[in-house]
Amino acid sequence: MVIQAIIDGPTTGFPRQAFLYRHLTLTPLTVSKLPRNAGSGTVKKHVDKTGFVAKWESTAWAKKRAAAEKRRTLSDFERFQVMLHKTSRRDKVRKVLKAAKA
């Protein structure tokens, strides 16, 4: 038996479609008071009214996804700059820890 959910992304342009539950990752965020058999327009109105997108963007999961997307779009030189910043930060932490031990 295949159990599916209907998913819809009215704010992202993701088309409404059936999706297997085993491929979904549920979050604690919900759109409450949504009528049964609601169309994409109704879903979009409820999402906008409840501020669902802002709630999602404030979660740690969304922030991680945004950071990963930003890293994915970096150029070679920007990745090099990130590496230099990481090494300088690591050196500063090591110096502070060494000074604290002494």
Q: Dihedral angle at the C-alpha atoms of 96, 98, 101, 102, nearest 10 degrees? A: -110
pLDDT digits (tens, 9 = 90+) for 40-69: 999 999 999 999 999 999 999 999 999 999
pLDDT digits (tens, 9 = 90+) for 67-98: 999 999 999 999 999 999 999 999 999 999 99
Can you give the pLDDT at residue 4? 94
Residues 6 or more apart whose CB falls under 8 angstroms from that of 76 comprise none
Q: What is the DSSP letter of 67?
A: H
Structure tokens at 89: 């930060």
